[in-house]
Structure 1
């Protein structure tokens, strides 16, 4: 037992002294925060667009004879173009929203220090992104690079434009107008020089890449990041992300927020590729996306604590039983702060192993199920508060085999947690018995 405690203390000190400070600095870094908040701001467009994609491609076999399914398939086929138009204007051009949202959120960090206007930052970034990702060709704007393939470019362009505006402001480079001029007019004139700088820097670069490599900047950047995207979709990368996120959580840092913020760009790139493949009638290439994390790995919240809540509901300990009753409904909606802090799990050596092991086992089982086509793959953005079985089925285009898998994974998590739960329950029962005995002795003394 002492050896186990020594090992736990060694791991905890390493996380606390080395991992946590680095993670804390990363999570509070302004560019990382802007990227995270930008993705969150664009989420409503992606959720609505994903819902429409599922509606356009019903989850039924083309030769089905079931009345409801047949009617849905026929209607979807007849009105496919009309249904997909809103999808094309939401998910299909999601990089536009992401670029503008990241620039806006990054610009907010410089409002006080450099007097930047976040709205103007968003406008400039939007223009710059369209300039390099959708140059006018034969009277039309190509949209191929405005979806998932343009995400990395959208991030880089947004950061470049805002930082360039900050540099110009810091060095007083711009058109100065009298103080009597209204602020909106001054802000619009402040944008003249940044627009000029963007045109004379990004546009020539775009032309050179087009002439030398026959591709747009987003396509070139995507080719560079392609190995990284492929690596991020592998099982080792998934397990590493789960491990880091839960080590941070165990040390008291919201690891899920940090890890998801870093992975969001890869998740959306993978999602865009899956949606493109679905529309083309091709096999879906990717597994690791936000819905995979939320509804298959961390069922009930970080640590896959739905399994632990199930154990708590039958506990002989009054404390754990009350935590279970308080946590069961929030856990159903993937909110597990009551069980995380009510147990507590943070910095509790008894739950260190299952808190890491349960989500990693879930990841392996869910990854295997998708790899061997036992269930489908993610094609939709789903609100993370959707109940896990429903959210899983929704994310996979209403593949209800996913809901069954989620129930199985929750039971697996409960099995993993059970022996550690019994150890902790025994400790609490002893404490509760001691407290009851002490209380009885105090009552007897008062009576005497």
Structure 2
């Protein structure tokens, strides 16, 4: 099996993951993360989970101010992503990439609708009207979760086409004496002109021919079905099984699957957030079960494989010096969802005995949590985004309230039961090896 996986299965997977588009998406999506985290903090402050405090912040006028910070950061994550993806593509090709990133932002703006057809009542946000239209504006809706797939497509196409112009030498070349920043601006002139013209033509085709915009068309025809796929059994298998399956062979499965699924899961997050802010967060109103928060707070909490159960065994039940020592070293990182010391120190990687609980645990938690939301035991995630290093229970409280935090506790307790028999078996093997080694060296081992 190990030979088959390493020689037949992993090579094509890694080849796909390391293609230019996937590399650009993975690297490009990293740029918005700091601003999403900062925006999430203001989101939490503006929608404080404790109602008396939330009412007080609204009364003194701070909630709208916090919302403004959120609107300028978290709420425009697609706009930040389109810059990052185009920049990453061109940078990886070895060219100056800032102009490409800015060009991608411009193209994204060109392809946006410039009319808002549904107006929200400020006094009562639950009421909307289509009797009025606002023109000559940019709808921020398409700069967030709804525009995520559009951002990926634009970022990739701009990055590829901009690099093509530079590779072919179709640029304005200035003498070497001209400062580099001035020269770079003229280098971008011809590629930018061609790409902007192409974007304008596309906008015209969709506007005049289909009476819509390409971002709205992509959202309706492509992104929405993809989000629905991620929100069902297929998405559940992908985020629960594949990351730990790849991790077992030493491949960073969380990074690979996160790079592919992350944009769609973030879009699911954003949809839930809109419903939450409108007071309509429910499955009946279209809330998603599987979101980025679902993955972070249930599937990878305490690290890939949800290895806190193994750590608890190492602290309380282990006899071997190896597992006792690793338990003391891993408990701190595990609280912040870092488990590389256990993955490579125990090790779990390429350890057939521990592979069973390592793969079974996130799948079991994922299925149970999915059913818990489906049957109303816990609410859907509210769309808040917390850093992946946020400790369990605290993170659950933020993204889903006390019921989600309590569910996290139950799921983490379940991991102890799953890991314990397998870890005990492995620990006995290690302990016997230590006894044999000590006997061979004439050393009396510690009890």
Flag whether TM exceeds 0.5 (same fold). Answer: yes
> What does residue 329 of structure 1 align with?
332
> What does residue 57 of structure 2 align with?
75
Q: Is the 8 A contact 2:29 2:81 kept in 1?
A: yes
Residue pairs, 1:362-373, within 5 angstroms: 362-373=365-376
Alignment of 1:109 with 2:92, yes or no, is yes
C-alpha deviation, 1:134, in angstroms = 4.7
Distance 1:231 1:178 in 2: 53
Alignment of 1:87 with 2:91, yes or no, is no
Distance 2:4 2:49 in 1: 47
What whole-Å deviation, never above 9, does each CA across 1:309-340 have from its counterpart, x for those lacking one? 10111212222111111111111111111111
Q: Is the 8 A contact 2:237 2:363 kept in 1?
A: yes
Alignment of 1:171 with 2:168, yes or no, is yes
What whole-Å deviation, never above 9, does each CA across 1:238-293 have from its counterpart, x for those lacking one? 12332221111111111111011111111111111111112222225112222222
Q: Is the 8 A contact 2:269 2:293 kept in 1?
A: no
- Larger mean CA deviation between 27-36 and 255-264 belongs to 27-36
Q: Is the 8 A contact 1:19 1:248 kept in 2?
A: no
C-alpha deviation, 1:77, in angstroms = 6.0
Q: Is the 8 A contact 2:319 2:428 kept in 1?
A: no
> What does residue 130 of structure 2 align with?
none
Alignment of 1:209 with 2:206, yes or no, is yes
> What does residue 64 of structure 1 align with?
none
Indicate which of 13, 19, 43 corresponds to 1:53: 43
Alignment of 1:350 with 2:353, yes or no, is yes
Q: Is the 8 A contact 1:153 1:221 kept in 2?
A: yes
> What does residue 18 of structure 1 align with?
8
Unaligned ranges ≥5, structure 2: 116-133
Indicate which of 420, 433, 436 corresponds to 1:434: 436
> What does residue 267 of structure 2 align with?
269
Distance 1:204 1:236 in 2: 37
Give 3-state SS (helix, strand or coil) of 2:135's partner: coil
- Larger mean CA deviation between 301-310 and 382-391 belongs to 382-391
Distance 1:331 1:441 in 2: 33
Give 3-state SS (helix, strand or coil) of 1:144's partner: helix
How many pairs does the alignment contain? 419
Give 3-state SS (helix, strand or coil) of 1:130's partner: helix
> What does residue 410 of structure 2 align with?
408
Unaligned ranges ≥5, structure 1: 1-9, 61-68, 444-448
Distance 2:183 2:149 in 1: 32
Distance 1:372 1:245 in 2: 26
Indicate which of 382, 407, 410 corresponds to 2:386: 382
> What does residue 147 of structure 2 align with?
150
Alignment of 1:247 with 2:237, yes or no, is no
What whole-Å deviation, never above 9, does each CA across 1:183-235 have from its counterpart, x for those lacking one? 22221112221222122211111121123333221111111222121011113
C-alpha deviation, 1:157, in angstroms = 0.9
> What does residue 259 of structure 1 align with?
257
CA, structure 1 residues 441+395, in 2 after alignment: closer, same or farther (shift >3 Å)? closer
Q: Is the 8 A contact 2:309 2:416 kept in 1?
A: yes
Distance 1:165 1:72 in 2: 47
C-alpha deviation, 1:127, in angstroms = 0.8
For the aligned residue pairs, the C-alpha RMSD in angstroms reads 2.1
Give 3-state SS (helix, strand or coil) of 1:40's partner: coil
CA, structure 1 residues 181+406, in 2 after alignment: closer, same or farther (shift >3 Å)? same
Distance 1:23 1:351 in 2: 24
C-alpha deviation, 1:103, in angstroms = 1.4
Indicate which of 96, 104, 118 corresponds to 1:125: 104
> What does residue 127 of structure 2 align with?
none
Give 3-state SS (helix, strand or coil) of 1:145's partner: helix
Structure number with the higher helix fraction is 1
Give 3-state SS (helix, strand or coil) of 1:206's partner: helix
What whole-Å deviation, never above 9, does each CA across 1:153-201 have from its counterpart, x for those lacking one? 1111111112111111222212232222222222111222122212221
Q: Is the 8 A contact 2:81 2:152 kept in 1?
A: yes
Distance 1:382 1:440 in 2: 53
CA, structure 1 residues 71+258, in 2 after alignment: closer, same or farther (shift >3 Å)? closer
Distance 1:43 1:240 in 2: 22
Distance 2:309 2:105 in 1: 45
C-alpha deviation, 1:99, in angstroms = 0.7
Indicate which of 10, 19, 29 corresponds to 1:39: 29
CA, structure 1 residues 280+207, in 2 after alignment: closer, same or farther (shift >3 Å)? farther
What whole-Å deviation, never above 9, does each CA across 1:24-53 have from its counterpart, x for those lacking one? 223322321221122211012212222222
CA, structure 1 residues 77+36, in 2 after alignment: closer, same or farther (shift >3 Å)? farther
Distance 1:135 1:171 in 2: 35
Q: Is the 8 A contact 2:114 2:136 kept in 1?
A: no
